[in-house]
Amino acid sequence: MVRFVLASLLCVVGPTLAASQQAPHDSVRGAVRLVDTKNRALEVTTGVGMALRVVRLQVPATVPVTTTPGRDQLALSDLKPGDVVRVTFGARPSGWVAYTIERIGRMTSGVEPRPSP
Amino acid sequence: MTSRALVCRCAAAILAVTACQRPLKPGDPLRGLSAAERARFDQGKGVFDSVFTPETGLGPLFNANACAECHEDPVAGGTGDEVERHATAFHEVVPAGVRQCDELAAFGGPVYQNHVTPALHTALGIDSEPVPPVATAVAARTIPDVFGFGLLDAVPDSEILAYADPDDRNHDGISGRPNRFFDGRLGRFGRKALVPTLREFNDGAFAAEQGITTPASPTEETVAGTPIPAGTDPAPDPELNEQQAALADAFVRLLAPPAPLKMSGEARQGSEVFRRVGCANCHIPTLTTGDSPIAALRHKQVAAYTDLLLHDMGPDLGDICLGLATPTEFRTEPLMGLHLMPRFLHDGRAKTPEEAIEQHGGEAARSRDLFHALPPGERAALVAFLKTL
């Protein structure tokens, strides 16, 4: 599950890690705590009640970062602390690896309801 | 008998039954529960009262070994004399790439547990979780009662947001604004209104207060960011199953709000003073619940005396940030059940309601000053009113 803190630095994930290859995955919705563009990593604050967790994710260059509802493509560096994101991810020996990242709002203003398909 | 007479007799019978209802006592369930709901309330109390040990999941970090260890006075669900430590880091000048408030979730925050199990003590030589040096403030937090929280949970977001006036467009000096959880949802529970729902408040409390993992929060707290040492947590996760967690939630959800005490003439006068000096601008006397699968929570009025919004209370009361709340912003504390509280304000620093009023600052400074300026009789009346809530 998502409640996990990886305090150690990340290993670099191989560029061949394509998002489409990952089947079993989990997801997290939370606020961006930190964007580490140099190491292509993202930290998301989440949790349950007052039991909070930070999920540190590796973000391979192939991972799609999009907006909702427009689904415009973003760069990792476009994400800012306080952005609310929905991330699908999976476990690798080096840590959690993101498969998809959607920016769905801001903590300050909330999240718009998801548009109907 | 004519139909009109029949209606009158039925109405009289209903009035008689209503008049004969005994007042709800602290710890009673809401009126009007179904048999199944009442059974869940009773079963949930069993979970709420359960005392955990390390072998059954307690810790390794914890504040209490049972819900009812803290929420005990005058009955399960009430207040308690424990004082917790919460710590966060607030950046007055926001560094690039981080939020203004860091809840220190990566360092075991924001709740820093006061106790550890013997196994963790042996492994690390600590008696409590250390607050990391990056914290900019450590807050003391007293134990709230949880009576009537199910009704607060059932108030629609739209009603809370209707009271928000973040830019003080009506120029009354009051500018309540919502807090939000990290996923963008409106918060309402906790002294800083971070937590969106009662279920999450309860599930999170198992993890943060007792070190009890649940399906919703299945991993243990860290020790200031470092995973707990191997061998210090003998119970398999989750330490509480979904059914048990849901029952504990049902107990809290179905607890009735404390019945207000009968008002004297002085207290009735105080009720009017309460409104006149502006207390009711934030301590909104009545909220209305929305739809709910539980009839006893559906479309009910609750004398909560809160707007569930954040207000700047001034620097003297300020401590930690949390979510969008700055150190000086606090959620308007519900005043329902105030007559059961032995001390007041978020950290218990006020021993009387008068002291609590006198320590209001920020947006509440005007009401505090008006309170000061009242004739002694009206001040006493206002306090008499508060003591009935």
Q: What is the pLDDT of residue B86?
A: 98
Instruction: Give the angle subtended at the CA of B330 by the CAs of B112 and B65, to the nearest 5°.
Output: 30
Report ipTM (2 d.p.).
0.93
CB contact under 8 A, A53 and B105: yes
CB contact under 8 A, B99 and A47: no
CB contact under 8 A, B97 and A81: yes
What is the pLDDT averaged over residues A70-82?
A: 93
pLDDT in tens, B2-16: 555 555 565 555 555
More confident residue, A24 or B105: B105
Residue B109 has pLDDT above 80, yes or no: yes
Residue pair B136/B83 in contact (Cβ under 8 Å)? The answer is: no
CB contact under 8 A, A33 and B99: yes
Average of per-residue pLDDT values in chain B: 95
In chain A, which residues have their Cβ closer than 8 Å to the Cβ of B98? Answer: 33-34, 81
CB contact under 8 A, B221 and A82: no
In chain B, which residues have their Cβ closer than 8 Å to the Cβ of A104? Answer: 184
Q: How confident is the model at residue B355 (pLDDT cuts 50, 70, 90)?
A: very high
Average of per-residue pLDDT values in chain A: 81
Q: What is the pLDDT of residue A59?
A: 98
In chain B, which residues have their Cβ closer than 8 Å to the Cβ of A50? Answer: 86, 110-111, 190, 194-195, 201, 204-205, 208
Q: What is the pLDDT of residue A68?
A: 80
Residue pair A74/A66 in contact (Cβ under 8 Å)? The answer is: yes
Lowest-pLDDT choice from B16-25, B163-172, B229-238: B16-25
Instruction: Give the angle subtended at the CA of A95 by the CAs of A91 and A99, to the nearest 5°.
Output: 55
- The residues with which B177 forms a beta bridge, in sequence order, are B310
pLDDT in tens, B124-133: 999 999 999 9
Residue A25 has pLDDT above 80, yes or no: no
Q: What is the pLDDT of residue B5?
A: 58
Q: How confident is the model at residue B25 (pLDDT cuts 50, 70, 90)?
A: very high
What is the pLDDT averaged over residues B212-229?
A: 96
Contacts of residue B283, defined as CB under 8 A and 6 or more positions apart, other chains included, come to B274, B305, B306, B307, B332, B335
Residue of A nearest to B207 (CA): A51
What is the pLDDT averaged over residues B344-371?
A: 98
What is the pLDDT averaged over residues B108-118?
A: 98
* Residue B88 near chain A (CB below 8 Å): no
What is the pLDDT averaged over residues B178-202?
A: 98
What is the pLDDT averaged over residues B329-353?
A: 98
* Residue B319 near chain A (CB below 8 Å): no
User: What proportion of chain B, given as a percentage, has pLDDT over 90?
Assistant: 93
Residue B154 φ/ψ region, left for φ over 0, alpha for ψ in the -120 to 50 degree band, beta for the rest:
alpha
What is the count of residue pairs from A and B with beta carbons less than 8 Å apart?
A: 111
In 3D space, the residue among A86, A84, A90 whose CA is nearest the CA of residue A1 turns out to be: A90
Contacts of residue A34, defined as CB under 8 A and 6 or more positions apart, other chains included, come to A41, A42, A43, A81, B97, B98
Q: How confident is the model at residue A110 (pLDDT cuts 50, 70, 90)?
A: confident
